[in-house]
Structure 1
């Protein structure tokens, strides 16, 4: 598919931009609706807008530093997110960092924001992966190569849409029905997303930048899982004391 959705007055509107903008509107609306009885809706929106900016900066910077460091020397290429190239974990780090500072400014508990955002982040991941698919990004490993030299690849981006978007959404939002009420939404998100990425990255085509036999995504997945498990253990210990 063409990565450009349409053109207005010679300005190209990319599917990538539509995906991010749509994700922000939906997550922003749902988060405000859920937390506005505790905090100011205006403050929540400002905190989310700042976090969104941090996510974009962190995601793009993380991708460039890990996979295309040469683009750091070219400002226009570095900021051209419409051409694709965003690191999910860079986005998480940037978004959470920016969210922390803004939430602290408005006296919003960061844990309330994280637990709420964890419920709706799969929606953003869904749209982001659809944009990856439209841009023909994230190729999969060879699944089957027949005698006619027709090569089939793992549709890893479709796996991602299903697991990171659909399944993760239902897992977190219906966790109590699954008897997972002892774990917070944010910790469940970190652990579940980490496991999903750890597995799905195995089906990706070999990346140019690897950490030994692991992709950088798998390395960060392991780190995030360990962090979330420690935080869950710490919270459980506090609850029993």
Structure 2
């Protein structure tokens, strides 16, 4: 009876098909460009532009040349880490069909895996270039919300990763999700993990001395993302592959993966002042902090 009532009420809600959205941004017949691919490209390019703005400030831990190299390393970390993270955390059966892992166009990326991959890529580049990897990571963390924002918008355009059934004016009936109207949890994440987290990090970077305390900005990012994602998971439909398990009824896999981020973020913030030291600019010799 409850399902029938909700289904009837869903007729008064927004229907995804009526929004006129298409996951394909450009279709040339022999070649398609999808919004999800453009989201990755936009996140990287806008993040690169913002990074170049930040390193113009006194005491930057890298030069423009380092920033340009970093884009290459970070892109590899995002793609490889994101894909392998998805396979390990959400679809381990894909290891039995290795070729499926290479089919990135079929979808399946893990943000938590992307974080690990990007971190390893930053450490590798900084060791090669003789840079302070934690300070470089602080700057990269301030750019990450761009990718999160565009990525979640792309999830919405694709009509995927929808939320739980809801009786709200903005609830949406998604194709493939049954007749019930649901939370547009993709947009919740875009606003919290993307726009709001960017605003918090921007304030910390431009209005405080956080960039002179190695690890503080990374900690703010980890804590902010972890808390926002943990919260939104209460409105997000559990991943179908975990149906009938603890990850459906007790705690979602996304929430489990956020717990070490929250703990790590708190640790980096609390201990950041102890890592503060006299900062020398990458170019020149005059101390600035």
What TM-score do the two structures reach when normalised by structure 2? 0.73
The alpha carbon displacement at 1:202 in A equals 1.2
Structure 1 107/179 Cα, relative in aligned 2: closer, same or farther at 3 Å?
Answer: closer
- 1:5 and 1:238 map into 2 onto residues whose CA distance is 46
Matched, 1:192 2:224: yes
Higher relative contact order (CA 8 A, sep 6+): 2
63-72 or 161-170: bigger deviation: 63-72
State whether residues 219 and 267 of structure 2, in contact with CA within 8 Å, keep that contact through their aligned partners in structure 1. Answer: no
Question: What do the CA deviations read for 1:21-68 (whole angstroms, capped 9, x no partner)?
Answer: 111111112213322674332222112211211111111111122222
More strand by share: 1
- 1:115 and 1:205 map into 2 onto residues whose CA distance is 32
State whether residues 122 and 137 of structure 2, in contact with CA within 8 Å, keep that contact through their aligned partners in structure 1. Answer: no
Structure 1 178/41 Cα, relative in aligned 2: closer, same or farther at 3 Å?
Answer: closer
**Cα root mean square deviation, aligned:** 2.6
- 2:72 and 2:156 map into 1 onto residues whose CA distance is 26
State the SS of the aligned residue for 1:154: coil
Question: What do the CA deviations read for 1:186-207 (whole angstroms, capped 9, x no partner)?
Answer: 2111111100011001111122
- 1:63 and 1:217 map into 2 onto residues whose CA distance is 11
Matched, 1:234 2:266: no
- Residue segments in structure 1 that go unaligned for 5+ positions in a row: none
Deviation above 3 Å: which 4+ runs of structure 1? 73-76, 175-183, 236-239
Structure 1 211/81 Cα, relative in aligned 2: closer, same or farther at 3 Å?
Answer: farther
Matched, 1:220 2:249: no
121-130 or 4-13: bigger deviation: 4-13
Instruction: Give the structure 2 partner of residue 27 of structure 1.
Output: 47
Question: What do the CA deviations read for 1:71-107 (whole angstroms, capped 9, x no partner)?
Answer: 3333443223333221110000011111111111112
State whether residues 168 and 192 of structure 1, in contact with CA within 8 Å, keep that contact through their aligned partners in structure 2. Answer: yes
Structure 1 203/180 Cα, relative in aligned 2: closer, same or farther at 3 Å?
Answer: farther
Whichever of the two has the greater Rg, that structure is: 2
State whether residues 185 and 235 of structure 2, in contact with CA within 8 Å, keep that contact through their aligned partners in structure 1. Answer: yes
Instruction: Give the structure 1 partner of residue 27 of structure 2.
Output: 7
